[in-house]
């Protein structure tokens, strides 16, 4: 199955519930647990934020419990770095997920301090942002934690049966060495590899010559990964490297991704997506849809989630290039642009069976 078909299948699963108004909350959330991070990545500005928030675990659990009543199925935890969040609070979250059956996973730089006592075995995935397996390239790219400590953490997770995947940001500093990361993934029997080009940092962005060279590497390893059953998006990324956006060449006019996954900032602000929240930048690109910092488990009337669903519906009425922030036109990432394209393509269809 190609990456596009994989994404389309996910989109279609929820389409009727959205089309006919049965669903009142997205099936998925991405939650930034903390603004703090171990690294100072060259392609990211999140670490530059002066105010470092940390989400209140009890309020988050209340929010997730109410969301589950309305159809929440999965949560992806990010940051900053989720393993900068206090271990006792993360353990409490994990226990909540085990008790409720809400699937969960992590996006992380991969470093987990030896003293960080958290069992990740029940996580559906831990996607490690491993841009290089060369310590010097890694240091230039990620700047912070030593490469050897990241690899030690990854190897420890693999030894303990954690479902580790790799997420690789491609840029001028690492694209010549990315085949080494792919070889590492094959050697360590890592089951998923995702790649995406750096877009919002011009000084390390790929030019056309870089893209053509990188494309050959991606096509080669797409075939290798298919042979050893590593889930990947290499071929689709290679097809679109020279396109001046990350929309995978897929057209859309409105945002439907807000119906599928919202982004929660550590201060309890909720945004249409991670991009509008400025997740990898030093500021957001729009006002939040709402904030749940005053949530009260004893006052469910106050928490009318249908009202927040109306906020998402109002966001969906905005037109790309007119009312949506400029970042949506130039950097709607594949995970989101595929939702927008396929949902818009299919939502008005009526088929005889």
Strands 28-32 and 103-108: unpaired
Lowest mean pLDDT among 45-54, 69-78, 265-274: 45-54
Q: Is the pLDDT of residue 300 over 60?
A: no
Q: Is the pLDDT of residue 151 over 60?
A: yes
Q: What is the pLDDT of residue 192?
A: 97
* Chain position carrying tokens 């290499």: 234
Average pLDDT, the chain: 91
Lowest mean pLDDT among 83-87, 196-200, 208-212, 265-269: 196-200
| Sign of torsion over alpha carbons 79, 80, 83, 86 | negative
Q: What percent of the chain has pLDDT over 90?
A: 67
pLDDT per position as a tens digit, 174-233: 999 999 999 999 999 999 999 998 878 889 988 889 989 999 999 999 999 999 999 999
Lowest mean pLDDT among 12-16, 247-251, 270-274, 304-308: 247-251
Q: What is the pLDDT of residue 56?
A: 97
- Taking the C-alpha atoms of residue 31 and residue 57, their distance in angstroms, rounded to an integer, is 11
Q: What is the pLDDT of residue 242?
A: 63
Which residue spans within the chain are E strands per DSSP?
Answer: 28-32, 74-78, 103-108, 125-128, 164-170, 192-197, 231-232, 261-264, 269-271, 290-291
Q: Tell me the domain boundaries of the chain.
A: 3-10+27-244+258-301
Q: How does residue 247 score in pLDDT terms, banded at 50, 70 and 90?
A: very low
Number of CB atoms found within 10 A of residue 142's CB: 29
CATH of 3-10+27-244+258-301, one of 3.40.50.460, 3.20.20.70, 3.40.50.300, 3.40.630.10: 3.20.20.70
Burial of 312 from C-beta contacts in 10 A (0-12 / 13-18 / 19+) = buried
pTM of the model: 0.93
As a whole number, mean pLDDT of residues 10-20 equals: 89
Q: For residue 108, give the nearest of 100, 97, 116, 98 by alpha carbon.
A: 116
């Amino acid at each position: 199955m190609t990456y596009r078909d994989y994404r389309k299948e996910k989109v279609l699963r929820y389409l009727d519930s959205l089309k006919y108004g049965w669903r009142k909350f997205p099936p998925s959330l991405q939650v930034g647990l903390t603004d703090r991070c171990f690294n100072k990545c060259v392609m990211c500005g999140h670490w530059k934020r002066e105010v470092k928030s940390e989400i209140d675990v009890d309020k988050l659990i209340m929010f997730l419990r109410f969301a589950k009543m309305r159809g929440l199925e999965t949560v992806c935890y990010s940051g900053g770095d989720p393993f900068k969040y206090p271990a006792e609070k993360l353990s409490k979250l994990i226990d909540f997920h085990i008790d409720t059956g809400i699937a969960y996973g992590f996006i992380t730089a991969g470093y987990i301090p030896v003293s960080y006592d958290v069992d990740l075995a029940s996580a559906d995935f831990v996607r490690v942002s491993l841009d290089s397996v060369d310590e010097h390239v890694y240091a230039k790219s990620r700047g912070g934690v030593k490469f050897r400590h990241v690899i030690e953490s990854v190897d420890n997770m693999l030894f303990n049966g954690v479902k580790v995947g790799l997420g690789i940001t491609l840029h001028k500093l690492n694209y010549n060495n990315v085949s080494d990361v792919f070889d590492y993934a094959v050697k360590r029997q890592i089951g998923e590899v995702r790649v995406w080009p750096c877009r919002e940092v011009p000084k390390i962005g790929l030019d056309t010559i870089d893209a053509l060279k990188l494309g050959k590497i991606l096509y080669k390893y797409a075939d290798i990964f298919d042979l050893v059953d590593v889930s990947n998006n290499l071929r689709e990324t290679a097809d679109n490297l020279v396109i001046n956006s990350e929309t995978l060449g897929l057209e859309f006019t409105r945002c439907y991704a807000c119906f599928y996954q919202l982004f929660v900032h550590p201060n309890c602000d909720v945004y249409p997506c991670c991009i509008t929240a400025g997740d990898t930048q030093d500021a957001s690109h729009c006002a939040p849809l709402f904030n749940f910092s005053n949530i009260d488990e004893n006052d469910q009337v106050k928490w009318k989630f249908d009202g927040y669903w109306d906020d998402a519906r109002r966001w969906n009425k905005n037109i790309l290039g007119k009312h949506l922030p400029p970042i949506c036109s130039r950097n709607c990432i594949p995970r989101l642009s595929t939702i927008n394209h396929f949902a818009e393509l299919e939502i008005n269809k009526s088929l005889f069976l």
